[in-house]
Amino acid sequence: MSGLGSLIPLPLPLSDADLERFRLRLDRRAATVPAGELLMRKRGQSLEFREYDAYVPGDDVRFVDWRLSLSRGAPWEFWKKSFDTEEALRIVVTVDQSPTMDGVEGSGKRLIAAWLAEALGRIALLGKDRVVLHRLAAEAATRDAGEPVDDSGEQGVERWSGMSTEIRNQQAGGKIRDWLCESDSLSCGDGGSQADGLQAISRCLQPGAVWLIVSDFFCPPRCSELLAGCVTMATQRRCTVAVLELDSWPWERSLIVDRSCRMVGPGVDPQRHDLRFDVDDALLRRVETRIAQNRDVFFDRVRLGAVRSRWSWPVVKKLDHASMFRDWFTNDPVIAAVLMAGGSR
């Protein structure tokens, strides 16, 4: 693990009291809404009768209402009883685990994302909601400098990979951060699903779920398009989608103090790419434009229904990640929207 590893073990900079305060906000939201607002009309196994349905082979014979079936007269026609069930709120947190999230030593993008996932997970578990954690990583094909970006989306060139896990009990909340940071590269853990990471997340996005995407959006355009399609599908399922962009570029830009630099970083092989530049303002402006265009590939497609926010790293000599996180978490509208998602629905 890179230098980021020294940041990962840091505990969540929010106290239990802070988390409890957010839980109370969640409870108040539940108390103020009409009863049944959170009920998802699904056939379940609660004791509240919903309706009679015709029995089909394969149904549980224990729910056949024999009296009704006999009174209706037809010897081959059976009626069974169905019941309503109440489903708890499900929060799906997708954390971009691409190598760019490791970023520069000390930037702490991955740590901030882990803290965020842990905070939301623990708050949700306090409210007896369910949390689905989703690790996602963009796989981009390496290419030579000057070669145009391949937007063809060829399989195996630019795609998402990832895995998800669902945390149901409160005792497992402390393992969220560990699970998110257990490996530099994604691998299939126990109980997880691999293959296409977006397929894994789509199964979790049931109606009413809240989906928070945390990424720096440095992923290739093809990956952005795929992710945007998944977000569109989620909004169609009446899921609440919130997007949180981690923007560390202002701080990384301040690291370029030498006029002549050799750029290194994730996804670029220094043996193949000779990224030596005489850096000037024009070059940096072009790079910034390129970053914005890459980001807009996603946001231009998910404009409707997505709550968006950007956490920008300050230009300071030494970053205080804990202070930054506390400030962002308590004041950010996206976080408020996620926590109030049920109330707004």
Partner 1 sequence: MTFSLVALASLSAISALTIRRMRRPKFVPVELSAVRFFLDEPPSESRRQWVLCPPQWRDRSYLMQMAALVLLLLAAGLQELTAPIDTALRVDIYVDGSGSMQTTQDGRTRSEMALEVLRQTLDKIEATEAASREVRVSTFDLDVDERVEPTSDLSGLRPHLEDVVRSRLLGTDLSALQRFLSRRPLNDSAWWPTHVVVISDQPAPKWSQESQRGSVQWLGVAKPVASHGITRIEPVRHPLSGGLVNLRVHVQARGKQPLEETTLTVSTGSAEPRMESFPVAWDGAGYARFDLARSRVFQAASGEPLRLELSGRDAWPADNRATVLLPDQTSVAVRWQVPGATVPDLPGWSTEEYPQVTGRNGEPPPLPRLVVTDFAGCGEFPESIPLLVVGHPDGSPGPAPNGADDWFLCSVFDDSPFLRDVNLDALEGTPEMKPLAAETLLLSLGQSDRPLTDVHVALAAFRGSSYETLQVALASLSAGGGRGPIVWMPLLPDFQELPINPETASDSDRQAAASRLAWQAVFLNSVSWLLSRDESPLFGLTDREHPEPNYEQAPFRLPLHPGEGDTSGESNTRAVFDPAVRIEREEPGMWWQLPVLLALVLLTVERVLALTTIRSERGLVP
Cβ at position 261, least distance to partner 1 in Å? 5
Nearest to 94 by CA among 260, 246, 286: 246
Which string of DSSP letters, residue by residue, matches 213-236?
A: EEE---S-HHHHHHHHHHHHHHHH
The upper half-sphere exposure of residue 32, i.e. CA atoms within 13 Å in the direction of its Cβ, equals 11
**Considering beta carbons, is residue 109 or 130 the nearer one to partner 1?**
109
Cβ at position 200, least distance to partner 1 in Å? 25
**Considering beta carbons, is residue 77 or 154 the nearer one to partner 1?**
154
The upper half-sphere exposure of residue 200, i.e. CA atoms within 13 Å in the direction of its Cβ, equals 24
Per the listing, tokens 């399609």 go with 229
Cβ at position 158, least distance to partner 1 in Å? 12
Which string of DSSP letters, residue by residue, matches 160-176?
A: EEEEEEEE-SGGGGGGH
**Considering beta carbons, is residue 125 or 140 the nearer one to partner 1?**
140
Cβ at position 53, least distance to partner 1 in Å? 55
**Considering beta carbons, is residue 122 or 135 the nearer one to partner 1?**
135
**Considering beta carbons, is residue 152 or 260 the nearer one to partner 1?**
260
**Considering beta carbons, is residue 194 or 294 the nearer one to partner 1?**
294
The residues facing 210 across adjacent strands are: 91, 240
Cβ at position 274, least distance to partner 1 in Å? 5
Q: Contact residues for partner 1 (CB under 8 A)?
A: 100-105, 107, 109, 140, 143-149, 216, 218, 248-249, 252, 254-268, 273-278, 283, 286-287, 290-291, 294, 315
Cβ at position 245, least distance to partner 1 in Å? 13
> How does strand 210-215 pair with strand 306-312?
unpaired
Cβ at position 289, least distance to partner 1 in Å? 9
**Considering beta carbons, is residue 164 or 215 the nearer one to partner 1?**
215
Angle of helix 221-236 versus helix 281-299 axis, rounded to 10: 30
Q: Measured on CA atoms in the order 206, 212, 217, 219, is the torsion positive or negative?
A: negative
- Whether the CB-CB separation of 341 and 265 falls below 8 Å is answered with no
Helix (H) or strand (E) holding 48: strand 42-54
Dihedral (Cα; 199, 229, 308, 241), 10-degree rounding: -50
